[in-house]
């Protein structure tokens, strides 16, 4: 049976199929001015992360500004993504939007001299991306996906004062009170309550007798 978009799930390890947000580095270098581009990256179905499910219906919108020269390119990126997540308290589907910005520094892969790499700081800068050719076609959609995943909210509430679910009947308290007793004793304390009701002297090994001696 073929799965519908609603049934589709993807992992967080790799970007969705069909994602591409590319530009020619040569266009920036030759024009000697910033290049502005917008990409709409399609995504449907759901992503599982933080122990919950994020359901996407709209494309992820990316706005980027690229500037620099043959030595390297600076890319300023802003992305927006809309999704639906179950409220952490009442489990109602809740819409939310993630909007984040980040920066990339694109540099050509340095030439090796023996076992030493010219750019010794390449692994130290998390925003640095080494590309085969600074003048060729460069796709930044993989980096957008990585930043989107780490930006997914760990906890979503339908509203700040969400009352959650009744622990006894499961009714959504935001829709009205249920008939369950709020003074219902915790069943975990039933044994303790029985001991108190029967008197402390029947609890072996606890407290002392009337003479102050510990019970055997």
pLDDT of residue 2: 39
Asked if residue 204 has pLDDT above 90, the reply is no
Tokens 């009352």 found at? 163
Q: Is residue 93 part of a domain?
A: yes
Residue pLDDT, tens place only, 133-182? 999 999 999 999 999 999 999 889 999 999 999 988 899 999 988 888 76
Query: How far apart (Å, rounded) are the C-alpha atoms in residues 67 and 31?
Result: 10
- Tell me the H-state helices in 11-140: 25-31
Closest CA to 96 of 78, 80, 84: 84
Q: Is residue 163 part of a domain?
A: no
Domain that holds residue 117: 5-151
Q: Is residue 210 part of a domain?
A: no
Q: Is residue 75 part of a domain?
A: yes
Residue pLDDT, tens place only, 34-46? 999 999 999 988 8
Q: Is residue 53 part of a domain?
A: yes
Q: Is residue 86 part of a domain?
A: yes
| pTM, entire model | 0.71
Look over the chain and give the mean of its residue pLDDT values, rounded to a whole number. 80
Q: Is residue 168 part of a domain?
A: no
Phi, psi of 5 (to 5 degrees): -60, -35
Q: Is residue 22 part of a domain?
A: yes
Total number of domains in the chain:
1
């Amino acid at each position: 049976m073929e799965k519908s978009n609603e049934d589709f799930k993807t992992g967080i390890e790799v970007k969705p199929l069909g994602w591409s947000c590319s530009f020619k580095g040569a266009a920036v270098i030759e024009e000697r001015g910033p290049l502005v581009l917008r990409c709409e990256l399609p995504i449907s179905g759901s992503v599982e992360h933080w122990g919950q499910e994020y359901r996407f219906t709209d494309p992820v919108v990316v706005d980027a500004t690229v500037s620099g020269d043959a030595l390297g390119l600076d890319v300023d990126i802003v992305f927006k993504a809309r999704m639906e997540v179950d409220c952490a308290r009442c489990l109602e589907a809740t819409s939310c939007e993630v909007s984040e910005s980040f920066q990339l520094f694109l540099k050509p892969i340095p030439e090796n001299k023996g076992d030493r790499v010219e750019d010794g700081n390449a692994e130290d800068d998390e925003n640095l991306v080494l590309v085969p050719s600074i003048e060729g076609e460069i796709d930044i959609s993989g980096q957008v996906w990585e930043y989107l995943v780490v930006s997914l909210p760990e906890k979503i509430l339908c509203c700040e004062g969400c009352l959650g679910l009744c622990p006894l009947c499961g009714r959504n308290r935001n829709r009205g009170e249920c008939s369950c007793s709020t003074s219902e004793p915790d069943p975990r304390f039933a044994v303790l309550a029985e001991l108190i009701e029967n008197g402390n002297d029947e609890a072996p090994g606890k407290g002392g007798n009337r003479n102050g001696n510990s019970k055997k």
